Amino acid sequence: MTNPEAQQTRNVFVGIDIQNDFIDGSLAVNEGAEVVAPANTLSAEVRDDGGTVVWSRDWHPKETPHFDAWPVHCVQETRGAAFSADLDVRETDIVLSKGMGQTDGYSAMEGVGPAGQTLESIISPESDERVRAIMLGLATDYCVRSTVLDSCVTFGDNPDVDIIIVRDGIRAVNIEPDDEQRAMQAMEEAGAIAMTSEEIRRAFF
C-alpha cells in the first residue's frame, strides 16, 4: 500500500463531444448548450491547477454504418463537428478524435490525439500519484455513458483513480424517457462518483 499522504493528486478534465451538431445541429440534445458553462468553469479550474484538459469529439467520415442508426452528424471539418463557439478550448488542451473509421466511436476511450495520445494513457497514474478524472458533456445516455463505463472497466481495480461525473454538466437524448436515469444508475454502479460542479469546486479546488 502506498501512503496516501505522500501522493500527489492530478486532475484530468474530460469534456465529451460538446459539438455544434449535439447542441443546435442535426442531433441536438435537449438543453445541450447548458453543459458549456460547467465545462468552461471546471476545465479552467483543472488547467489553473496544473492538470490536463481533454476534449473528445465525434469525427466521422462522410459515409459510415454509424449513420444507419443516426442522422448524419459531426462529419470531419464541417461546422457541425466543430466545438461550440462558446466552449473555451485552449491550444494547450488535448483533443481526442473518435469514430473516424467505420465504427460508432461512442467512447472517448477509443479517441486518439494529434500525438497519438489516448484517454487511457492520459489518465494512467504515475507511481505515488492519484488521478481524479472529471467527466461531463453530451450525451449522458451515449458517449458520456460509454466513456465513463469504459474508464471504470479500465481503471476500476486501480485505487489511485477516481472517475467523477458532473451531474449538471451532462444532458441526455432520452429516446426512452428513463434512458438518462438508467445511464446514471449504470455509471454509478460501475464505480463512478456523481457530484455537482459546485461540489467539485468546493471539494477539490
Residues of this chain that interact with Zn ion (CB under 5 A) are 58
Q: Which residue lies nearer to Zn ion by CB, 58 or 141?
A: 58
The burial class, CB within 10 Å (0-12 / 13-18 / 19+), for 38 is buried
Task: Using CB positions, name the residue nearest to Zn ion.
Answer: 58
- Active-site residue 86, yes or no? no
Instruction: Tell me 40's DSSP state.
Output: H
- Active-site residue 17, yes or no? yes
Supply the minimum distance, in Å, between the C-beta of residue 73 and Zn ion.
6
- Active-site residue 98, yes or no? yes
Beginning with the edge strand found earlier in the chain, give each strand of the sheet holding 52-58 in spatial order.
94-98, 52-58, 8-16, 129-138, 161-171, 193-195
Supply the minimum distance, in Å, between the C-beta of residue 25 and Zn ion.
12
Exactly one of 21, 58, 98, 160 is catalytic; name it: 98
Exactly one of 58, 143, 150, 160 is catalytic; name it: 143
Supply the minimum distance, in Å, between the C-beta of residue 78 and Zn ion.
13
Cis peptide before 139 (omega within 30 of 0): yes
Contact 51, 13 (CB under 8 A): yes
Q: At what angle do helices 36-48 and 197-204 cross, to 10 degrees?
A: 10
Q: Which residue lies nearer to Zn ion by CB, 77 or 157?
A: 77
Supply the minimum distance, in Å, between the C-beta of residue 156 and Zn ion.
26
Active site residues: 17, 98, 143
